[in-house]
Amino acid sequence: MATSFTETPRDLAFILSEANGMLSREVLTIKSGSGKLSAGTVLGKVTADSKYVPSPNASVAGKEGAETAVAILGYEVDATSADVPAVCISNDAEVKSLMLIFEATVNDATKRAAKLTQLRAVTIKAR
């Protein structure tokens, strides 16, 4: 009987380089209802409550503001039924673009490029 395993993205594996110490990292709150998120998920900040969700392509009711990518989740979390504090990369870092995970509506090269440009605005550079 054969057994197969699926490996999820490894925590922080998407980082090429970051600022000294903890300058690139910040503990952010992942909003309840976001579900199970993998390390490397591109995040946006919800204006109304300052919590973070996977950054959608366009504004979504209840998640206004999150359409602008501003951080990347460092560790896998489960925010299905409760807010979760999580270590994220929020500035001054270089990351592997092929290891980033985008929200489902960010579904083509043009939309992904827009997210990478948004991250560049907070000094996260994708290579």
User: Amino acid letter at 44?
Assistant: G
Q: How far apart are the first and last CA of the chain?
A: 41
Name the residue among 31, 125, 119 with its Cα closest to residue 78: 31
pLDDT higher for 7 or 108?
108
Is there a domain that residue 27 lies in?
Answer: yes
pLDDT higher for 82 or 5?
82
Q: Which CATH number do you get for residue 91? A: 2.40.300.10
User: Measured between alpha carbons, how far is 85 from 49 in angstroms, rounded to an integer?
Assistant: 14
Number of domains, the chain: 1
Tens-digit pLDDT profile for residues 31-84? 999 999 999 999 999 999 999 999 999 988 989 999 999 999 999 999 999 999
- Other CB atoms within 10 Å distance of the CB of residue 43: 27
3-class secondary-structure state, position 117: helix
